[in-house]
Structure 1
Amino acid sequence: MVVEDVADLDPLSLRERFGWWEAGGRLPDGAGESAWLGVVQALTMSLARELRYPEEAVEDLSTAEFDRFLRLADEVLSFLGERELMGGHEVLTRRLGLTFALAASALQLPESPLAADRVVRQVIAVVTPERLAEAERLSPGWTRLDRAEILRLRHLKHLIRLALDLRGHLTDRDAAAIVSSWHSILSLLP
């Protein structure tokens, strides 16, 4: 199947969309970030909807299919991150979105690359003690910072908030404790 444009994925089922990717499907050379973002949305938004709202499911997917599609979605995000077609914050945020959908579902897939414990560990790798100390130092005068610094603080806040929201789904007590310790800095960030 040839996909010249992300719109070519629209009429396809979720199985067909992931089948396209799994069979080595890629956009033509030179496809920009926005085209690849469309691919991510075509794959992940439908998958998240199927996970979150099984009563409204368009497709009757098995647990094995959900597991395979989540692995492939993670692969797509890694592909885009490695090729710098999507920034690291965006990749992690997209992973967190799928993690929320998986956590909201009745599926038990602890070995999934998008299981809460695994993705929160990725957040912990980004939200380092050094980064938190820097945020505490910069936050009181954040309105005087340049736009890039404010954006970095907002990205940090976003990751902290998402990780805190996932705490109830963590089985890793150490990770849950680390995430809980971030609660106090949330109100300091812009």
Structure 2
Amino acid sequence: MVTGVEDLDRLSLRERFGWWQGGGRLPAAAGESPWLGVVQALTMPLVRELRHPEESAEELSEAEFDRFLRVADEVLSFLEECRLMSGHEVLTRRLALASALAESGISLPDSPLTADRVVRQVIAVVTPDRLAEASRLGPVWTTLESAEILRLRHLKQLIRLALGLRDHLGDTGSAATVSSWLPVCSALP
């Protein structure tokens, strides 16, 4: 029985995802930190499997990768809805999974974590208004308060991760949009 993250860590990747799909959840009062542990227990080995399948003891099929990626997306949505993880953190984790999937060479065009789908989510967040603000504040970021600097760093993180997916985008419009962010990115802290 899984009552904490340490129990998940003892399970195979198939068992970890089976736990979630079987209705497994942490106790209601668990809080953010244990849930972050659940996300890491699910997504970090999945990223490793996608990037280095030759080192795997589990030999996962494409159907299993597809199922696990869908479950990972479901977990992230659950945590965002329950306010156990910020929208920014959820999006950066989706970008990491999209990157691992893109680099794996596995074709899962219907996955919620394809490069195109996740980059469209980034484009919805990296609005022209945010880019204009970043262009204005980037050069003077050392004079800003900590909260503003953190917002600029979060924006830069999203831009950098999206730029890393450019070569995997099938949508040329999205690729062009992401490419247009490069000058702003270089001005951010």
Using structure 1 for the length normalisation, give the TM-score. Answer: 0.98
- 1:167 matched to 2:163? The reply is no
- 1:12 matched to 2:17? The reply is no
The one-letter code sitting in structure 2 at the alignment partner of 1:122 is Q
Which residue pairs with 2:183 in the alignment?
184
Q: What is the percentage of aligned positions where both structures have the same residue? A: 73
Which residue pairs with 1:106 in the alignment?
105
The one-letter code sitting in structure 2 at the alignment partner of 1:110 is P
Structure 1 segments, 4+ long, off by >4 Å, are: none
Which residue pairs with 1:59 in the alignment?
58
Structure 2 spans left out of the alignment, 5+ residues? none
Give 1:60 deviation, angstroms: 1.2
Give 1:103 deviation, angstroms: 0.8
Give 1:141 deviation, angstroms: 1.3
| Mapped partners of 2:128, 2:57: distance in 1 | 43
| Mapped partners of 1:141, 1:104: distance in 2 | 36
The one-letter code sitting in structure 1 at the alignment partner of 2:131 is L
Which residue pairs with 1:39 in the alignment?
38
| Mapped partners of 1:102, 1:146: distance in 2 | 37
Which residue pairs with 1:26 in the alignment?
25
| Mapped partners of 1:32, 1:165: distance in 2 | 32
Which residue pairs with 1:131 in the alignment?
130
| Mapped partners of 1:137, 1:105: distance in 2 | 38
Which residue pairs with 2:88 in the alignment?
89
Which residue pairs with 1:3 in the alignment?
2
Which residue pairs with 2:150 in the alignment?
151
Q: Classify the secondary structure of the residue corresponding to 1:24.
A: coil
Structure 1 spans left out of the alignment, 5+ residues? none
Residue by residue over 1:63-113, the C-alpha shift from the partner in whole angstroms, topping out at 9 and shown as x without a partner, is 001000000000000000111100111100110111111011120011100
| Mapped partners of 1:27, 1:3: distance in 2 | 8
The one-letter code sitting in structure 2 at the alignment partner of 1:53 is H
The one-letter code sitting in structure 1 at the alignment partner of 2:115 is A
Give 1:58 deviation, angstroms: 2.2
- 1:79 matched to 2:63? The reply is no
The one-letter code sitting in structure 1 at the alignment partner of 2:16 is R
| Mapped partners of 2:175, 2:76: distance in 1 | 25
| Mapped partners of 2:170, 2:122: distance in 1 | 15
The one-letter code sitting in structure 1 at the alignment partner of 2:86 is G
The one-letter code sitting in structure 2 at the alignment partner of 1:112 is S
| Mapped partners of 1:183, 1:58: distance in 2 | 40
| Mapped partners of 2:180, 2:136: distance in 1 | 17
